Structure 1
Amino acid sequence: MLYFKCGLVILSTTYILSLCSQIAKETNSLDAGFALLYVASGAIAGKIIYDRYRQIHILGALTPNPNVTSFANKISSLSASFLSLGFLVYLFLFLLKVDNYCLTALSIFVCGFGTLYIWMQCLITTYLSTLYYDKHLTTLRQYLASGSFIVLIVMAILGTVASFIPRGGTRGIYFCLVATSLCSYVLTAIFCVFILSFEKEYEYFSDGLRTEMLLDDACSLTSTSFSDMDSIFGTQELNSSTIVSKGNISSSKAS
Structure 2
Amino acid sequence: MTATPQAAMLFAAGFGTRMGALTKDRPKPLIKVSGRPLIDHALDLVDALRPLRVVANLHYRADQIADHLTGHDVALSLEEPRILDTGGGLRAALPLLGPEPVFTLNSDAIWAGPNPLKLLRDHWDPNEMDALLMCIPVGQALGHAGPGDFTQDSTGRITRGAGLIYGGAQIIKTDGLRDINEDVFSLNLLWDQMLRHNRLFALSYPGRWCDVGHPEGIDLAEGLIADV
Is TM > 0.5 for Structure 1 vs Structure 2? Answer: no
Give the structure-1-normalised TM-score: 0.29
**Higher Rg:** 1
- Name the one with the larger helix percent: 1
Give the structure-2-normalised TM-score: 0.31
Query: Which has the higher relative contact order, 1 or 2, with Cα contacts under 8 A spaced 6 or more apart?
Result: 2
